[in-house]
Every structure is written in structure tokens, then in C-alpha cells.
Amino acid sequence: MFLFLDGFDFGVGILFATRDDEHEQEQLLAAVGPFWDGNEVWLVVFGGTLFAAFPAVYANLFSRYYLLMFAILAALGFRGLAPEMYEEREDTQWRRFWGYAFIIGSTTTPFLLGMFVMNWLLGASALISLQGVLAGLAVVALTVVDGAAFLGLKTRGALRDDARTYGVRAAIGYLVLTGLTLGLVYSTTPSLRPSFQSPAIVGLVLLTGGLVAGYILAFRTQRYHLTFVIAAGLVFALVTLLAGLMFPVVDRAAELTIRDAIISTLPLNLMTIMASVLLPLVFGYFVVLYSAFSGPIESEETYR
């Protein structure tokens, strides 16, 4: 959910770099303004669930990749601060600086997240690897796919047309980068090869190719709601693919399986009860939020 919902915020931030007109930049900020901070709730849910259900994995990941985690948090903070500061002054130099900050934060966050997840999958000890860099670039491309689809719903005219162009290019780039990443992981990690050969993983890879084709077709035929749904499908297919490759191991570096790392039954049951109460409230909040700000933004709308 975080990669899907905050992913389109990142994508819009990256596409912010393609706009020179200040009015169009304001429209991009206005498109994501009501949503980005709420979308980050899902990162908190993920971290909290990992800590509560798999405390050993949480501790291992944060100690092993603490520099990477701090870099992700710093990039997220930079991305969140930039639009707020951008609106504080009308000065051209001021807005140029914070515009660049918005672009940098929106680009580096998904890139570093991709590196983090690839390191987690491989159990890598080094922070930087070729597999991690390719995975980071693939996640950046995926967020552009997501952000372009979102702008297809929220904008009109030239902005929407350009979003369609960039979205199609990003979808092709995402498919190529994903293929390169998976090929490299397969060739360099023998322990994962049996997982690659499972019907579920093969099916997810084929599904990804089909979804990219559907995304391009839907965008070119201006079926924007369908495009957004397909973008969501691409995100969830990627997460499912990574989970399938990892299963049943949950921390390869520490050789921990899910059964080894998970907490006992009683606290797990308590978590389930709490989640059954809290998650519907969270989903209800998002239904209200997205309903209140549905439809394309008006030309006079700004971030505030």
C-alpha cells in the first residue's frame, strides 16, 4: 500500500522536473497536496507490524542497514519539507532550490527503498551492489508509472498529455529494468534459483509483462481510471514477486525462516484483533480523503 499510494507522490515529484512553467508546477503540487502525508501512514504500519511480528528481523535489518535506513528517512523528510518551503516565498531562487529539493527527495527515496529491499532479499552485507542499483532504478521507474497514471486522473490538457507520454516510457523502462534485475539475481544467487522456477513466480513475471502492455494500451486510449488500476496491479505484483522469492526465509543473512522469527501465538492473536479494529478505521479515513478530493484539479488550485 505504501509503494502504491506514496509511489504516485514520488512519481509526481519526479515528473515535477519536466515542468518549467510555475503554474504547472503548482498544479502538480496541488494534485498530491491532500494525499502525500496520509499515504505515509502505510510505511508506519509496515514498520510497526514488522517490529511487532518479527522483532528479530526488524532488529537485524536496522542494525545491518542502518545507514541506508537513515538515508531513506532523510530523503522522505526532504521530500515532505520541500513543498511546504516552496510555498513560503515568491522568490524565484527560493522556489528553484526547493523545487530541486522536491525532485531529489522524490527520486532518492524510491531508489533507496529498492536498494534496501534487494539487500534484504539477498541477505547482502554490503550496502551497494549492482543488483541493488538496478532494483532501485526499477522502483523509480515504477513510481513514475504510478505518478503518471495518477496525473491522468488529476490533470487536463498538456499536463495530462505529457503524463501519458512519460508514463508509457517509464512502463517500458520498468519492464526492462525488472528483467535485468531478475536475470542478474538468478545468475548470481544459486540459492534463489528453485524459487525462480516455481509456477507462481513464472506466472507473476508473465503477469507483469501483460500488465505493462495493458497499461500502455489503456493510457493511449485515454482510459485513465483503468490505467491507474493497472499501475496498482504492477505495484502489488512486484511486492508479491519479491515475497515469493523470499519465502519461507524472512532474513537470509541470519538464516531465519518465518517460523523461526515470528512471535508466539498469543501476542500474534492480540495483533490480529487490534488490526481488525484499526485497519478498517484507516481504510475508512482513506475512503473519505480520496472521495473528498476526487476528480481533476482546477486550473486555479494551488498546494495550499
Question: How far is it, in rounded angstroms, from Cα 294 to Cα 296?
Answer: 7
> What stretches in the chain show pLDDT beneath 70?
301-304
The pLDDT score that the predictor gives to residue 38 is 85
Residue that the C-alpha cell 505504501 belongs to: 2
**Residue 12: its pLDDT value, please?**
96
Q: What per-residue confidence (pLDDT) applies to 304? A: 63
Give the domain ranges of the chain.
1-268
Q: What is the pLDDT of residue 297?
A: 85
Residue 126, phi then psi, degrees to nearest 5: -80, 145
Give residue-wise pLDDT tens across range 37-61: 889 889 988 999 999 999 999 999 9
- Distance from the first to the final alpha carbon of the chain: 26
pLDDT value of residue 110:
97
Average pLDDT, the chain: 93
Q: What string of DSSP letters covers 185-210?
A: HHHH-GGGHHHHTSHHHHHHHHHHHH
pLDDT given at position 303: 64
SS3 249: strand
* Residue 302, pLDDT score: 66
Alpha-carbon distance of 65 to 125, in angstroms, equals 8
Give the C-alpha distances (Å, rounded to integers) separating 160 from 24, 148, 151, 166, 222: 11, 8, 6, 10, 10
Q: At what angle do helices 224-246 and 199-220 cross, to 10 degrees?
A: 160
> What pLDDT, on a 0 to 100 scale, did the predictor assign at position 205?
95
